[in-house]
Amino acid sequence: MARIPACLNSDDLRRATEEGRSSVTDVQRETGWLGGGPAGEAAVLAAERRLGIRLPPSYRNFLLVSDGWGVIADSLAELLAVGRIGWFRDLEPELLASWSMPDMDHFAEHSEMLERALLISGPADGDYWLLSPDDIAGNDEWTAYWWMAGDGQDPEPYDDFAALVVRARENFLARG
C-alpha cells in the first residue's frame, strides 16, 4: 500500500495563498491542519453498510485520520466527509446521463466505470475523484480516478487512493 504523504507544508501553503491558488482559512492556518477530525470506526462502518462494500485500505485509513479534506488540489473543492460519499450514479445522475448519450460512443467504457464508481470529492470546477470497485488489486486497493470532466478528458487512473493524493500534491507544488 502506498504511503500518503503529508500533503503540504506551511511554506507551500503560505506561498499558494499569497499567489491566490489556495483558500486556506484562518483556522486552518492557525492549526496547521487542512483536514477534518477523524471519522471514527463507527462512521466508516456505517458508510460501508450504507454502500454495501468495504472501502479500500488507503482511503479507509485516510478517513480514520481525517473525515474529509479541504484543499487537496487546485481544481477540487473538497474530499467529502464519510457521511457524504456515495455512488456517482446517485450523486451525479444528470452528468452520468449526459456522458452516456448514444453520441458518446468513444466514452462508453468510462461511462460503465462511472455507473459503478464511488464519488469521494465535492463540487469542483468539473473535476471528480472516484474509486472503482471493478478493479481491485490483491492488496484490496481499488483503482482511483481523477476525472477532469470540465476539460472533456477521459478519467485518469491511479493504482489507488494514496497514489492519487501523491499526484495531487505534485501538481499543487509544481504550480508554485
CB 87 within 8 A of CB 119: yes
pLDDT at 30: 79
Total domains, the chain: 1
In a domain, 24, yes or no: yes
Q: Let me know if residue 2 belongs to a domain.
A: no
**Amino acid making up residue 103:** D
Question: Tens of pLDDT along the chain (176 residues)?
Answer: 444 444 555 666 666 667 665 666 777 777 777 788 899 999 999 999 999 999 999 999 999 999 998 766 656 668 999 999 999 999 989 888 877 666 666 566 777 888 999 999 987 677 899 999 998 999 999 999 998 877 778 899 999 999 998 888 787 777 65
Domain coverage including residue 77: 10-174
Residue of 42, 128, 125 lying closest to 85 (CA atoms): 128
**Residue found by looking up cell 481499488 in the block:** 142
Q: What is the pTM of this model?
A: 0.83
- Residue 4 within a domain: no
Residue 3 lies in a domain: no
The string of pLDDT tens digits covering residues 30-81 is 777 778 889 999 999 999 999 999 999 999 999 999 999 876 665 666 899 9
- Output the CA torsion sign for 107, 162, 61, 63: negative
Q: Where are the alpha helices (DSSP H) in 19-128?
A: 26-31, 41-51, 57-65, 88-91, 93-99, 108-116
Which pLDDT score is estimated for 111? 79
Let me know if residue 164 belongs to a domain: yes
Residue 142 lies in a domain: yes
pLDDT at 17: 64
Is position 157 within any domain?
Answer: yes
CATH of the domain at 88: 3.40.1580.10
